[in-house]
Amino acid sequence: MKLYHQPSGLHDGLDLLIDSRWSPDQALAVIDLLDDLRDRIWAHYEVALQAKFREDRVTRRDVRTTDPPF
Protein backbone atom coordinates (compact mmCIF):
# COMPACT_ATOMS: atom_id res chain seq x y z
CA MET A 1 0.00 0.00 0.00
CA LYS A 2 1.32 3.43 -0.93
CA LEU A 3 1.61 5.88 1.95
CA TYR A 4 0.05 9.25 1.28
CA HIS A 5 1.13 12.34 3.14
CA GLN A 6 -2.06 13.82 4.51
CA PRO A 7 -2.24 17.51 5.47
CA SER A 8 -3.52 16.41 8.89
CA GLY A 9 -0.29 14.53 9.58
CA LEU A 10 -2.17 11.33 10.48
CA HIS A 11 -0.34 8.11 9.72
CA ASP A 12 -2.46 5.54 11.53
CA GLY A 13 -6.11 4.58 11.74
CA LEU A 14 -8.36 2.94 9.20
CA ASP A 15 -7.42 2.46 5.53
CA LEU A 16 -8.54 5.99 4.62
CA LEU A 17 -6.52 7.43 7.48
CA ILE A 18 -9.57 8.23 9.53
CA ASP A 19 -8.40 9.01 13.03
CA SER A 20 -8.81 5.78 15.02
CA ARG A 21 -9.47 7.81 18.17
CA TRP A 22 -12.78 9.28 17.00
CA SER A 23 -15.58 8.88 19.47
CA PRO A 24 -18.78 7.16 18.32
CA ASP A 25 -20.43 10.62 18.36
CA GLN A 26 -17.78 12.00 16.01
CA ALA A 27 -18.14 9.06 13.64
CA LEU A 28 -21.93 9.47 13.66
CA ALA A 29 -21.59 13.19 12.93
CA VAL A 30 -19.52 12.38 9.81
CA ILE A 31 -22.04 9.76 8.69
CA ASP A 32 -24.87 12.29 9.16
CA LEU A 33 -22.90 14.86 7.15
CA LEU A 34 -22.34 12.37 4.31
CA ASP A 35 -26.03 11.42 4.33
CA ASP A 36 -27.03 15.09 4.14
CA LEU A 37 -24.55 15.70 1.34
CA ARG A 38 -25.88 12.72 -0.61
CA ASP A 39 -29.46 13.93 -0.17
CA ARG A 40 -28.58 17.45 -1.38
CA ILE A 41 -26.68 16.14 -4.41
CA TRP A 42 -29.57 13.79 -5.26
CA ALA A 43 -32.13 16.60 -4.92
CA HIS A 44 -30.17 18.80 -7.33
CA TYR A 45 -29.12 16.16 -9.89
CA GLU A 46 -31.98 13.64 -9.57
CA VAL A 47 -33.11 13.63 -13.21
CA ALA A 48 -29.57 13.60 -14.60
CA LEU A 49 -28.50 10.85 -12.19
CA GLN A 50 -31.50 8.71 -13.09
CA ALA A 51 -30.66 9.09 -16.77
CA LYS A 52 -27.02 8.19 -16.08
CA PHE A 53 -28.02 5.11 -14.03
CA ARG A 54 -30.37 4.04 -16.81
CA GLU A 55 -27.69 4.56 -19.46
CA ASP A 56 -25.14 2.58 -17.45
CA ARG A 57 -27.49 -0.35 -16.85
CA VAL A 58 -29.20 -0.81 -20.20
CA THR A 59 -27.34 -3.40 -22.22
CA ARG A 60 -29.75 -3.81 -25.15
CA ARG A 61 -32.71 -1.84 -26.43
CA ASP A 62 -35.45 -3.16 -28.64
CA VAL A 63 -35.76 -0.50 -31.34
CA ARG A 64 -39.23 -1.78 -32.34
CA THR A 65 -40.84 -0.36 -29.19
CA THR A 66 -40.90 2.98 -27.42
CA ASP A 67 -41.39 1.37 -24.01
CA PRO A 68 -38.60 2.19 -21.56
CA PRO A 69 -36.23 -0.72 -20.86
CA PHE A 70 -37.13 -0.89 -17.17
CA 18 to chain centre: 17
Share of the chain above pLDDT 70, in %: 74
- Is the pTM value of this prediction over 0.85? no
CA distance readout (Å), 17 to 3, 14, 29, 34, 37 = 10, 5, 17, 17, 21
> Is the predicted pLDDT of residue 70 greater than 60, yes or no?
yes
- Helix, strand and coil content of the chain, in percent to the nearest 5, comes to 50, 0, 50
Whats the size of the chain, residue-wise? 70
| pLDDT value of residue 2 | 60
